[in-house]
Structure 1
Amino acid sequence: MALSEFSLQYVPQKAVKGQALADFLAQHPSPYKFRGNDVEIGMVETRDNYWTMYFNGSSTSVSAGIGIIIQSPTHNLWYFSLKLDFNCTNNQAEYEALVIGLNVLYDLRATLVLVLGDFELVINQLNKTFRCMSCTLAPYHMVASYLAESFDGIIFKHISLVHNTDANELAQIASGE
């Protein structure tokens, strides 16, 4: 409505030829600096040579637990559900899940890793969008950052809880929720 006072003419864009798209991608490299064929189109993502980890933590007034799902580049899956034997906050439980998952990936000799979690605070702290100001979370953040450096490439990506239900259920089962 705001633009109706101007005499604008709509002209549909011509189809992009395959070579033009290839030239554009060659001139605009990925900011993630990963090797392999990494393509993301909407909700479809291919991850050649990537290990993928979903993680979640759950804390109740009685106990806490974590859920981790690891997928290899060949699509093998490992499920982990662990009860934590100490009291902690939900934030600490999330970091516990992340740190344990990164240790498992390191032991599996993963080199390229995609870490997916629904807890925005943890993901944004590791992506350096947020600073870790909490005294209780700082040690977890430091360990997770140190472990992240042991991989050739790592991406921390926030996903909605809807896409992390399996890890969430594993964490809730472990915490007795």
Structure 2
Amino acid sequence: MIKSQALADFIAEWTKIEAPTLEISHEYWTLYFDGSVMGPGAGAGVFLISSEGGKFQYAVRLHFPASNNVAEYEALISGLRIAMDIGATRLYVYGDSKMVIDQVMKNSNRESPLMDAYCQEIRKLEGRFRGLELHHIPWKQNPDADALAKITAERKPAPNGVFINNLDAPSA
């Protein structure tokens, strides 16, 4: 009986009991977006920073006629989709298009049916995040996304480390 108790004590002392851990990140990722239309075409730039500080750059080539506002919306939509694909669930979003931010945040009217369709597309995507905040910033505070959008709109080769996406049809 003493031996069996000693064995039970030994097992209890040396057996690790691990509680299940939930892999829920409460950390926010940061997304900067910008769109650009230039002579050769239209493009979008997306700059993502993970909650741990990792940086990801995406250039989106728009292969359809687009206004600057459409390019801005495409940049935001592409950024949200990329963030979801990477696994971000909480996101701070920064863009220098006051019109897009205001329309998405419901601070201004969307008189154009096209802009309304883009807002509806963003509404579909925002429900897939546990936290999403959009903020307008001056273009001087958005240099990385701006540079990516311009390079893409000018159809220049992307620098090393930049992921290229091609978009053949509008998202809305």
**What does 1:156-167 correspond to in 2, within 5 Å?**
156-167=134-145
CA contact (8 A) 2:39 2:154 kept: no
**How many angstroms does 1:54 deviate by?**
0.1
* C-alpha separation in 1, matches of 2:51 and 2:64: 34
Find the structure with the greater CA-based Rg.
Answer: 2
Residue identity over aligned pairs, in percent, reads: 35
* Unmatched tracts of structure 1, length 5 or more: 1-35, 37-47
* C-alpha separation in 2, matches of 1:106 and 1:131: 27
Q: 2:88 aligns with which of 99, 103, 110?
A: 110
How many equivalent residue pairs? 131
CA contact (8 A) 2:27 2:51 kept: yes
Q: 2:132 aligns with which of 132, 136, 154?
A: 154
Amino acid at match of 1:115: V
Matched, 1:77 2:77: no
Amino acid at match of 1:118: D
Aligned-residue Cα RMSD (Å) equals 1.5
- Match of 1:137, SS? helix
**How many angstroms does 1:82 deviate by?**
2.0
**How many angstroms does 1:104 deviate by?**
0.7
Instruction: Normalising by structure 1, report the TM-score.
Output: 0.70
Deviations 1:141-161 (Å, cap 9, x if unpaired)? 111121011111110000111
Q: 2:116 aligns with which of 133, 138, 145?
A: 138
Q: Which residue of 2 aligns with 1:54?
A: 32
* C-alpha separation in 2, matches of 1:62 and 1:174: 10
**How many angstroms does 1:60 deviate by?**
2.4
